Structure 1
């Protein structure tokens, strides 16, 4: 493990509304922690693209990443990424964003149509099964669109439902829908990520966890990335080693990074 190239393909700079530090600080942390590659994947929530000025912030993000790539050339592979949120809620906008010249696009769903981010839902009186059904139905729509590289944090609602609020969420009811999502991703040449942020949060396990990563592999999935979802320099690379061990346990022999939207496999 110590000689294997380490990479973190999900991080946020201060070009994201919830990011804390500039791109250069994230890159410096990556070098200090011995990473081979780092993708800066700032938020671009297309359901509020103009309203919350993502049309401007994503351009600033790209500008800063391209500058950093030159500064760190020879020490760190810096990848121009984006976390594309809620493409299902503004497909025309999403279609334009993915053509903007990124190395790597994460497709994510932080809220379902007409609802707030799962982080901000008042779960008192909510029907958790219905919430999960809504989420996975829309996630299937996203996977069938498939114009991104990997699907971010497949089990995102659990971060809040289970991790922060201590409620019960039965994903067994969603297994058929999960299979449809994974099959759609594979058919569209998309991968999944192992998001390690919840190893340092209350949930205590990756998004998704081992059984879903194994299932993706069983269905024929080959593209898998690992990302810390860091929003500050100290979290860059956090949980990456554990994430790699998990994908090995699921039967993968390689992990992936992307350059100019093309997958590059690295042996683990």
Structure 2
């Protein structure tokens, strides 16, 4: 079975790709199923319905008209779900399309995600839990790492993840567990330094019936290992972890389902025998 359970469209602030383009690419590649997981990042972004000024990106920052800028907002939920249902009517005889969101959660934003699930949870098949920021500081800009040693910012990142999975249960899969490694100026930290806290995290994830993902964006980012790294995947499996999804994290059609066959081979080599899809938050196992 071929599927992609981590992809973005024009409803994510960092993508311009229409859903149609992702879906048609998926059909051309022979995918059986795909799940859109557009971004929600409370703490650094507002909802369209929030009062007050929203943030903007783009332009030269000096008198650039807002008409030429891009709003830094979360998914426009009513339009998002309405379009997903239109896409299912249009393409549903060729590919299964699932409703998902990617929650960029921090501990202090959990109440906002709980409210979001109250309002729209019945329309969702799948929720990714991602640690995209800590203390409202971005990794990709380097702001989160400033003033900290490699040990300190890695410890803080994984502590936030641990605190989130302890307190928030409204997700299905923990996404790109070692995302911090993508942006670490010192390179990936030694596995032994994070093994203990990852063990704590995975024990909670497994006990809660949740899973993790293999995110194939590591290939187009040119990383030396998978995301998460093989040692992390081995640890998850050794602790009894079974639920595992695969996603490309594609923001453009050319990266959709990127290296999925390679990813499946790696998982088999590590001893995994199943991959999972979701229907209304219910995990469905498929033989690798």
1:78 corresponds in structure 2 to 97
2:69 corresponds in structure 1 to none
Query: Do residues 138 (structure 1) and 160 (structure 2) align?
Result: yes
Cα-to-partner distance string for 1:60-88 (whole Å, 9 max, x where unaligned): 32222221111111210101010011242
Aligned residue pair count: 259
Residue 214 of structure 2 aligns to a residue whose secondary structure is: strand
2:199 corresponds in structure 1 to 179
Shift in Å at residue 207 of structure 1?
A: 1.1
Shift in Å at residue 109 of structure 1?
A: 0.5
Query: Do residues 118 (structure 1) and 139 (structure 2) align?
Result: yes
Shift in Å at residue 39 of structure 1?
A: 0.5
Shift in Å at residue 124 of structure 1?
A: 6.5
1:159 corresponds in structure 2 to 182
1:49 corresponds in structure 2 to 46
| TM-score normalised according to structure 2 size | 0.85
Task: State how far apart, in whole Å, the 1-side matches of 2:235 and 2:24 are.
Answer: 36
| TM-score normalised according to structure 1 size | 0.91
Q: Which runs of 5+ in 2 are unaligned?
A: 48-53, 55-71
Shift in Å at residue 168 of structure 1?
A: 5.3
Task: State how far apart, in whole Å, the 2-side matches of 1:12 and 1:241 are.
Answer: 20
CA contact (8 A) 2:219 2:259 kept: yes
CA contact (8 A) 1:194 1:243 kept: yes
1:195 corresponds in structure 2 to 215
Task: State how far apart, in whole Å, the 2-side matches of 1:168 and 1:104 are.
Answer: 29
1:267 corresponds in structure 2 to 287
Out of 66-75 and 21-30, give the one that drifted further.
Answer: 66-75
CA contact (8 A) 1:194 1:208 kept: yes
Q: Which runs of 5+ in 1 are unaligned?
A: none
Higher Rg: 2
1:240 corresponds in structure 2 to 260
Q: 1:127 aligned to 134, 140, 149, which one?
A: 149
Shift in Å at residue 57 of structure 1?
A: 2.1
Query: Do residues 24 (structure 1) and 44 (structure 2) align?
Result: no
Task: State how far apart, in whole Å, the 1-side matches of 2:116 and 2:260 are.
Answer: 28
Task: State how far apart, in whole Å, the 1-side matches of 2:78 and 2:190 are.
Answer: 40
CA contact (8 A) 1:193 1:225 kept: yes
CA contact (8 A) 1:98 1:148 kept: no
Residue 133 of structure 2 aligns to a residue whose secondary structure is: coil
Cα-to-partner distance string for 1:156-189 (whole Å, 9 max, x where unaligned): 011111xxx4645233211100000010100111
Alignment root-mean-square deviation, CA: 1.7
Task: State how far apart, in whole Å, the 2-side matches of 1:61 and 1:96 are.
Answer: 17
